[in-house]
Amino acid sequence: MHNKIYTPDEVAALLKISKHTVYELIKRGELASFKVGKKMRIEERELNRLKTGAMSAPVKQSQSIQLRLAGSHDFLVESLVQYVSKEDLDISIQPSYIGSLEGLMELYKGRCDIAAVHLLEPVSKMYNLPFIHQLFVHEKITVMRLAAREQGLIAAAGNPHNIKGIKDLERNNLVFVNRQKGSGTRFLFDTILADKKINPVAINGYEHEEWTHLSAASHISSGNADAAFGIKTAASRLNLDFIPIAVEQFDLVFKWTQKNENALQHIVDVLELTSFREHVDALAGYDGSQFGCITYDSR
């Protein structure tokens, strides 16, 4: 007899329960599953066993918890916040897009649970981990790779000023719009300027700061500026030109405590076990080949 195979999404739909409940059953051993790559699958006979009441105990729904996320503005992080809110997890994520450095400091001070970061250490040219090792000595920390992102120059559609690289920003006829100090994008941009021995004073608009990729790109779209430094997705959403300059690593940093460990584990499960990864492939300029990889874990 053919034994049909189901995804967790299909099981949740058939039983009219949330995917969170399905994953809880799997984690507690009350619903047998197997993996195909990183995807969970459930056999039809196991589903039938569950439907006929063979569970050892009813599923306990988790208490409503709000996790705090601080750090870099990112379209994938926005998608995660929305995805979690729609999945009936009894968990919500409250984001604060204050820049990578400030987000990491909020995590260090215990004012948030997750930091979204893409900080380039100028000497080693490594992302994020040098800062993690300096700040978090005794805490339980996990660093998970979300994606690699393309950073570059955003220009008006058709690139009317023929901008080809960072050196062009020194031209007197160009108006630039920058990202705020403490953002990972600003860290990267200033490092590139130093490597190329470009004096920021020579860039018209260097002191003009915006707090998100879209707000910076919108100045190009409206004609108030000629160039910005940001990610490809921002350019794509406003139909602007993009000149690639660098590829960076974007990570989530989890700080585990007795209070938040169950809720954080649910977020990790969402990232590792659900179809959320498809959001990476839908964004221009993102490479999800290392999505979900744990680059550091001190638990």
Q: What is the CATH number of the domain that holds 273?
A: 3.40.190.290
Count Cβ atoms within 10 A of the Cβ of residue 197 and give its class: 0-12 exposed, 13-18 middle, 19 or more buried: exposed
pLDDT value, residue 88: 60
Is 254 in the same domain as 176? yes
Is 77 in the same domain as 212? yes
pLDDT value, residue 2: 59
Q: In terms of Cα–Cα distance, which of 216, 286, 196 is closest to 250?
A: 286
What length is written for the chain? 299
pLDDT value, residue 1: 45
Mean pLDDT in each 10-residue stretch from start to end of the chain (299 residues)?
Answer: 76 79 74 74 81 53 78 94 80 93 97 97 95 96 97 98 98 96 96 97 97 94 97 96 98 97 92 89 94 96
pTM above 0.75, yes or no: yes
Is 20 in the same domain as 97? no
Residue 57 lies in a domain: no
Is 77 in the same domain as 35? no
Domain that holds residue 36: 5-51
b/e string for 219-248 if b means 16 or more Cβ within 10 A? bbbeeebbbbbbbbbbbbbbebbbbebeeb
pLDDT value, residue 62: 46
Is 119 in the same domain as 206? yes
Residue 10 lies in a domain: yes
pLDDT value, residue 28: 67
Relative to beta strand 140-155, strand 241-256 is antiparallel
Q: How many domains does the chain have?
A: 2
